[in-house]
């Protein structure tokens, strides 16, 4: 059976032993307690490893992957990562959720439950290998019949129209979100995106940004634009996001213009008083 089971030892051993391909998704407490911990980054990392050089026909996953907190419903979030990460080449394959609850019950617990009402998503209330194997065979024989692909473009767009993913709580406003999106786009345009690794990693691994990119896809830039500016100038960049990447961008932007010098006030505006800023 060419299927992947994602679990966290919260399924019977006799069931998990039936799968050749499986991912035990667990996050050590030490990582969770780290100041820079991000569930999305860890989910992206673990899923990326399992999909490397593999081609899976069906994915099985419980609604939640936490033994003592069913309401976390982490299985839904991982499924959305799979659907919204096309570079793994598994974004349109069937996903089966395992659990005793109905889709309607799950949808009342989490807005992410809307994925359960999209094409290519199935559920199974029986927690035994024989039932999952039977469903696997039905999907390959009946559901995939006459399909050139798993989800076609119309079905995938319908999926995007039905799900809703909110921005992460650590972004104070849409301005801060748009700011990072613009920074990455312009940095890719001039070929300096390797100089903003933190921002780049946030946008590539964050579920909201994957969702945003799927809704508003951008055409890849094939060439890198470099600019030569004549004349001399000294520029002071005053921006509360300068140290988060914009200073690196402008340094690269003026890289071919040696007569242009740029500097920034290396301070955290949001935690600095007006008097302290004036002193700088």
Q: What one-character-per-residue DSSP string does 178-244 give?
A: HHHHHHHHHHHHHT-GGG-HHHHHHHHH-HHHHHHHHHS--PPP-S-------S-EEEEE--TTGGG
* Residue 62 parent element (H or E): strand 58-62
pLDDT of residue 9: 84
pLDDT of residue 56: 94
Question: Tokens 């000294």, residue?
Answer: 234
* Residue 276 parent element (H or E): helix 274-279
Structure tokens at 56: 């899976």
The ranges assigned to domains in the chain are 3-162, 174-279
pLDDT of residue 123: 97
Q: Enumerate residue ranges in the chain where pLDDT < 50.
A: none
Q: Is 274 helix (H, G, I), strand (E, B) or coil?
A: helix
- The structure's pTM equals 0.84
pLDDT of residue 27: 86
Structural fold of domain 3-162? Rossmann fold (3.40.50)
Rounded CA separation 247/266 (Å): 10
Structure tokens at 152: 């076609």
pLDDT of residue 227: 72
pLDDT of residue 272: 73
pLDDT of residue 222: 63
């Amino acid at each position: 059976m060419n299927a992947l089971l994602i679990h966290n030892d919260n399924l019977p051993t006799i069931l998990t032993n039936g799968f050749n391909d499986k991912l035990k998704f667990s996050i050590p407490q030490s990582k969770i307690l780290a100041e820079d911990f991000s569930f999305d980054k860890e989910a992206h990392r673990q899923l990326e490893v399992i999909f490397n050089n593999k081609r899976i026909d069906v994915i099985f996953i419980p609604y939640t992957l936490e033994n003592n907190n069913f309401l976390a419903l982490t299985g839904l979030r991982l499924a959305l990562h799979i659907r919204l990460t096309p570079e793994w080449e598994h974004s349109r394959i069937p996903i089966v959720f395992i659990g005793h609850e109905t889709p309607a019950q799950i949808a009342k617990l989490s807005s992410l439950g809307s994925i359960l009402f999209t094409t290519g998503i199935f559920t199974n209330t029986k927690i035994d290998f024989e039932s999952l194997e039977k469903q696997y065979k039905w999907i390959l024989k009946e559901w995939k019949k006459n399909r050139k692909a798993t989800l076609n473009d119309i079905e995938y767009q319908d999926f995007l129209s039905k799900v809703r993913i909110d921005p992460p709580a650590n972004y104070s406003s849409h301005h801060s979100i748009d700011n990072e999106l613009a920074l990455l786009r312009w940095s890719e345009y001039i070929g300096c995106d390797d100089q903003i690794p933190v921002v780049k990693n946030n946008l590539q691994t964050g579920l909201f940004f994957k969702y945003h990119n799927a809704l508003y896809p951008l055409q890849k830039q094939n060439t890198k634009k470099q600019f030569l500016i004549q004349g001399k100038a000294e520029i002071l960049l005053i921006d509360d996001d300068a140290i988060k990447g914009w200073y690196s961008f402008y340094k690269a932007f003026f890289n071919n213009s040696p007569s242009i010098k740029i500097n920034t006030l290396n301070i955290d505006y949001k935690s600095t008083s007006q008097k302290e800023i004036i002193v700088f």
